[in-house]
Amino acid sequence: MKSIKNLDIDGKRVFIRCDFNVPKDEFGNITDDRRIRASLQTIRYCIDRDCKIILASHYERPKAGKYEEKFSLAPIAKRIHTLLKIKNEMLMATDVIGEDAKSKANSMKEGDVLLLENLRYEVGETSNDEEFAKELASFADFYINDAFGACHRKHASIYAIAQQFDTDHKAAGFLMSKEVNFFSKVLERPIRPFVAVVGGSKVSGKLEALTNLITKVDKVIIGGGMAFTFLKAQGHEIGTSLVEDNLLNEATAIMAKAKDLGVKFYLPIDLVVAPEFSDSVPVKYLPTQEIPIGWMGLDIGPASSRLFREALNDAQTIIWNGPMGVYEMDKYSKGSLQMSHHIAQTHATTIVGGGDTADVAQRAGDVDEMTFVSTGGGASLKLIEGVELPGLKALEL
Ligand code: AMP
């Protein structure tokens, strides 16, 4: 995969596909601008080379073909301008490939930055439409993909557009290169012991990733809602905890494979259990084998935390994806926050993937202690699964 550094972009028009899909509160304020900040390196690099920079991103899921203010990228343009601290104007188009975008793009000066409106306002984006991609491509001489978080989607601004440029005119941005290099280096040549910490709500979303990881790691630590499918498969009473009964066989197969390969497989030994999914009910801290009928496990308990810390002690490489409990509720956040501290305190290379997991590390104040926090949840899981990402493939063709 070529890097932007390999291209001769000086003074040229550069289209950068970014991932500005940031969380906002109910009043439309950006609550976490990490993804915007992560894109600045590539944008600044282009500004320093006097490029005319056209930025594009999707934002959530508006109804295609329809403008709705709450999905507008206008607040993002403001934030980019604030963060970039540039003297040039930050231009914001009111459409994607319409009159406004075209006229603003045509009147750009060197070092100007133009942000197009939400790509998903156009029907052609998600359908990977070639005509739409051609229109997007006509804005620029070079195509840069820096949207790692969207690379697992075969959309026009990710895939079809790249086909409009030859290999001397397209490349990965700095963020994208960093993400891909980190994951591939760690997965291909991990320094051992290599430990995977996997949590979150469901086994189903991470089944392929787990199946692939098990062949590469030395230990797997499972927490969160997905642990109950494994616990049930082992014959435990799990009360009303989250479970995927249709995956009990898969869970058993994964544990058997771990055993065959000599991979240590850790499940919670105690839990925080509650009579219902709520923050305002009395909870109990109980061994996994004592979940009362009708109660549910919503976080790992203190003994599991200590056990997992022991298992992490000698790790040299750690991949972490998924919280250990319902961390959004204070009462059930401790297991996830502790896990973040444990991982941050090791001397291992630590890679945190997934929006929720990055959020936990952020709340725990551990982000600076992690080696790398990935901006793309779904895309990083696909890389772990060993699946070819359309966005990466398109840069190589
Ligand atoms: P995922 O998107 O699969 O990574 O799952 C993240 C979500 O899993 C978070 O919103 C957590 O609240 C949820 N979660 C973690 N542990 C549990 C649990 N024990 N029961 C229900 N939900 C959980």
Whether the pLDDT of residue 344 is over 80: the answer is yes
Q: What is the pLDDT of residues 76-112, one digit of tens each?
A: 999 999 999 887 779 999 999 999 999 999 999 999 9
pLDDT exceeds cutoff 90 at 10:
yes
> Are 295 and 275 in contact, with CB atoms under 8 Å apart?
yes
Count CB neighbours of 10 within 10 A: 11
Structural domains present in the chain: 4-175 (3.40.50.1260), 182-385 (3.40.50.1260)
Is 205 close to ligand 1, i.e. is its CB under 6 Å away?
yes
Atom of ligand 1 nearest to the CA of 326: 12
As a whole number of angstroms, the distance between CA 127 and CA 198 comes to 32
- φ, ψ of residue 198 to 5 degrees: the values are -125, 130
Q: Starting from the edge strand earliest in sequence, which strands make up the sheet with 284-287, in order?
A: 284-287, 270-274, 296-300
The backbone region for 30, taken as left when phi is positive above 0, alpha when psi lies in -120 to 50, beta otherwise, is beta
Say what the pLDDT of residue 222 is: 98
Per-residue model confidence (pLDDT) at position 78: 94
Query: Residue holding tokens 């490489």?
Result: 317
Q: Decide if 355 is catalytic.
A: yes
Per-residue confidence (pLDDT) for residue 31, from 0 to 100: 86
pLDDT band at 385 (very low <50, low <70, confident <90, very high): confident
Residue with tokens 């022991």: 310
pLDDT of residue 28: 84
The answer to whether 382 is a known catalytic residue is no
**d(CA 326, ligand 1 centre) in Å:** 5
pLDDT for res 390: 95
How many whole angstroms separate alpha carbon 177 and alpha carbon 156?
A: 20
Mean pLDDT of all residues in 170-196: 93
State the pLDDT at residue 377: 80
Closest C-alpha to ligand 1, atom 13: 201
Give the residue-averaged pLDDT of 261-270: 98
* Catalytic residue (choose from 44, 154, 202, 363): 202
How close is the Cα of 356 to the center of ligand 1, in Å? 9
Q: Which residues touch 68 (CB under 8 Å, ≥6 apart)?
A: 62
Mean pLDDT for 337-358 is 94
What's the pLDDT at 168?
96
Note the pTM of the prediction, 2 decimals. 0.87
